[in-house]
A and B are shown apart, each in its own frame.
Chain A
Amino acid sequence: MRLVHIKGFTVIEILVGVSLLALIVIFTTHSLTLHFASGALVQQKTKALYLAEEGQEILRYLRDEDWNAITDLTADTQYYFAVATSTVATTTSLELIDTRYTRSFVLREAYRDANDDLVASTTGGSSIDTGSYIAEVSVVWGANSVSLDGLLTNVFDI
């Protein structure tokens, strides 16, 4: 009888062993899944940030052509870009890139204080700078998004 108890494993020992192994496998699989998911997110964000940066450059290009192209737009309203092979423009129809990424922009009034520094609209004594806008370009895909802010100024005073 004694010999039987010394040899082999009891049910509890096996249960503990199997549960430990299962825990290790679950943790490893979970962290690997997270690792792969973050790799995919890095790729998507890289692509989206270049699209947003390109959006800021398109606005700068339109600003250079004619400041009225910017002032004709309504502040705090969502617009999109119409990108053709040799012309770019702003539009109210959705721009979907690679069937997944939606790029849009919003112009916000730029508020300045007595020192001409940019401040929040809620700051006392601030006034709207009619020669500037803050452009916010956003790229949205699935549940993710990136956003880039830039200041557009009427440099050529057209």
Chain B
Amino acid sequence: MRMKVSISQPHTKGFSLVEMLVYVAMLVVVATVSVASLISLSDSFQQQKARQLVVRNAVSVTERMLTDIRVAQDVDQFSSTFQATPGVLTLVNGPTTTAYSVVSGVLEVSVENESSALTDNAVTIDEIIFYLYDNTVTEFVRMQLTLSATAGSVTYTETFNAGAVLRGSYE
């Protein structure tokens, strides 16, 4: 009796080796696809985070500087560094002197020798180059700003160009 039961039952209960192989193979495929897409999703999120940081800081810095350049009367060429990085831009507007410079990767503005940071610590200013154009009637300042931000394992770097004519320089 025992022999009969043990011989006839094994085929209905449990899984065969082939079945197990198929299931494990399917599980491996599904797990690989899910893990791969999760990793790429996480990379995309980090990329997005870093990009947002770079764009947000670039916009706030550029708007601030373009506004200051537009209202400025003159550029203090002796206290400025042009065509080289890290550049320094010193603007003169009546009695007020406004200087922009990079201190260990952070863009700082100095109004009447009172310094304050314009970019947050999450971004680094890799390069800032100023260019001055003077046609004896007006002055025009261009800038090239390269920022980078790191989120997790992703580093995002972008360069922005902007420029404005000094409205106060009209003679």
Are B161 and A61 in contact (CB-based, < 8 A)? no
Closest 3 CB pairs of A and B: A65-B135, A54-B163, A64-B138
Q: A57 to B51, Cβ gap below 8 A?
A: no
* Chain B CB within 8 A of A40 CB: yes
Q: A32-B44, A64-B137 are in contact. List 5 more A-B contacts (CB 8 A).
A: A32-B41, A39-B51, A51-B161, A54-B161, A65-B135
Q: Enumerate chain A residues within 8 angstroms of B52, measured Cβ to Cβ.
A: 39
Contacting residue for B140 out of A88, A97, A98, CB 8 A: A88
* 28 contacts across the A-B interface (CB closer than 8 A): A29-B37, A32-B41, A35-B48, A36-B44, A36-B47, A43-B54, A43-B55, A43-B158, A46-B160, A51-B161, A53-B66, A53-B164, A54-B162, A57-B164, A57-B165, A58-B163, A61-B135, A61-B138, A61-B165, A64-B137, A64-B138, A64-B170, A65-B136, A65-B137, A65-B138, A83-B142, A86-B133, A97-B161
* B59 contacts partner chain A, Cβ-Cβ < 8 Å: yes
- Whether B163 lies near A57 (C-beta < 8 A) is yes
Task: For A54, list chain B residues within 8 Å (CB).
Answer: 142, 161-164
In this complex, the interface size class of chain A, counting residues with CB under 8 Å from chain B, is 20 to 34
Residues of A at the B interface (CB closer than 8 Å) are 29, 32, 35-36, 39-40, 42-43, 46-47, 50-51, 53-54, 57-58, 60-61, 64-65, 83, 85-88, 97-98, 156
The answer to whether B48 and A47 have CB atoms under 8 Å apart is no
Interface flags, B138-171, vs A, CB<8A=1, else 0: 1010100000000000000011111111000010
Q: Smallest CB-CB separation from B163: which chain A residue?
A: A54
**Closest residue of B by beta carbon distance from A43:** B55
Given that A53-B162, A54-B162 are contacting pairs, would A46 and B55 also be in contact in the complex, using a CB cutoff of 8 Å? yes
